[in-house]
Structure 1
């Protein structure tokens, strides 16, 4: 597991085993800057998601705001662990299908909202996006997806 390590060695970040060790060669942000970037991106994403509820009656505007907020919120962790590690974690064998469903439903919602302008399809894609985001989030909690699956199976199992 990643551990939060803010100590500096000779003015440089500790590279092995720390949460902030990977910079992917793109930029080198200080640990405090990474935390600020994470917080700003997460707060902006949550704000977009909450503000999208105001325009819920207009599915196209709702889809655009909610999808953009989701992308910001999910991408916020890239500030902490680096974009390369974020992508590797998203493409891990235990969550590759959840990631594909999530990214696909975000794209479908935006396509249905921006190009096709179909409210019903946009709402269906948004429902899929929310379900895929929940399933993706559960992949980070040990045994959570198995527990939810068994719960749904037991609730839907109707023997007469």
Structure 2
């Protein structure tokens, strides 16, 4: 009976210790995310460079749709994710799903998934290439949403050149 009482009391102590550990862990992770501006630039540059290398290597293995789709899409996501070093993950997600960019983000993610489906399940080189081209166009359109008036300017240029609007 005495051992049961001790185990109950010890259980309460362990719960309190677990709560303290969780609080300390959360505080420690906040400190892990506080990078200096130089470290953020290095992270951004390294992630961008890794993304570009993956995209370049994907062109070498274009004959194999699975490797091509995986490398290109992974490189593309690394390049887009590199901006997380500059602004933080929460801010990045808020900006991606901002009403101004919601359609561009959704279309971009849709084409990323489509490229992976074409490369991994369908195994069709032409469809994979088409999906990758659409993914690149969607990424450009998404990227232009970060530059003030860039999408409006591109729309005006396409109207004049091709007599159509994007």
- SS of aligned partner of 1:108: helix
State the alpha-carbon separation in 2 of the partners of residues 71 and 33 from structure 1: 20
Among residues 64, 72, 92, which one is paired with 2:70 in the alignment? 64
State the alpha-carbon separation in 1 of the partners of residues 31 and 138 from structure 2: 30
- 1:19 is aligned to none
- 2:35 is aligned to 30
Unaligned segments of structure 2, at least 5 residues: 1-28
Q: Is the 8 A contact 1:60 1:122 kept in 2?
A: no
State the alpha-carbon separation in 1 of the partners of residues 161 and 44 from structure 2: 38
Whether 1:142 aligns to 2:148 is yes
- 1:12 is aligned to none
Whether 1:112 aligns to 2:106 is no
Whether 1:103 aligns to 2:109 is yes
Q: When the two structures are superposed, what TM-score results if normalisation uses the length of structure 1? A: 0.76
- 2:157 is aligned to 151
Deviations 1:66-120 (A, max 9, x none): 1111100100111221111000011111111111111110111011101221222
- 1:82 is aligned to 88
Deviations 1:17-43 (A, max 9, x none): xxxxxxx94942321433332221111
Structure number with greater Rg is 2
State the alpha-carbon separation in 1 of the partners of residues 122 and 152 from structure 2: 36
Q: Is the 8 A contact 2:65 2:120 kept in 1?
A: no
Q: When the two structures are superposed, what TM-score results if normalisation uses the length of structure 2? A: 0.73
Provide closer, same or farther for how the CA distance between residues 29 and 142 of structure 1 changes in structure 2, counting only shifts above 3 A: same
State the alpha-carbon separation in 2 of the partners of residues 41 and 157 from structure 1: 38
Matches within 5 A, 1:13-52: 25=30, 27-31=32-36, 32-52=38-58
Q: Is the 8 A contact 2:108 2:135 kept in 1?
A: yes
- 1:122 is aligned to 128
CA RMSD, 1 decimal: 2.0
Unaligned segments of structure 1, at least 5 residues: 1-23
Q: Is the 8 A contact 2:69 2:120 kept in 1?
A: no
